[in-house]
Amino acid sequence: MTIKSPQTLVSEALKTVKTITPEKALKLDTENKCNLIDIREEAELLNFGTIENSVHIPRGMLEFSIYNQIDSNKEIVLFCAAGGRSALAVKSLNEMGFKNVSHIEGGFGLMAESGFKVKT
């Protein structure tokens, strides 16, 4: 049995999950067409701030808490710090049966540079 590295898992996930640009995510958010979900840890929010209009569900609780936090008529758009955790999270939600799920390329860092408002 070969143990895969986190980088391998992310690389494999990126081949199968929907990735969108921060600009596309901002458009969806502005048009109120998505559930914008921040899956970073609490300490990351405290240290770097959070994106306005996003809902915080830490990665470790996502599969357990997603049902109560979303509008099922809108796309689920996940983001983390750089895009690795969110790619894995989209793969997991797809495996659960969620269909309209994507993650933001570059994560929080690129979002902050692309016009999203950051609250501290």
All structural domains of the chain, each given as residue ranges with its CATH number in brackets, are 6-119 (3.40.250.10)
Q: Quote the pLDDT of residue 1.
A: 87
How would DSSP label each residue in 73-95?
TSEEEEE-SSSHHHHHHHHHHHH
Is 79 in contact with 103 (CB distance < 8 Å)? Answer: yes
SS3 (DSSP) at 102: strand
Contacts of 120 (CB under 8 A, 6+ apart): 49
Structure tokens at 75: 């796309």
Residues of the chain scoring pLDDT < 70: none
Q: Is the pTM of this model over 0.85?
A: yes
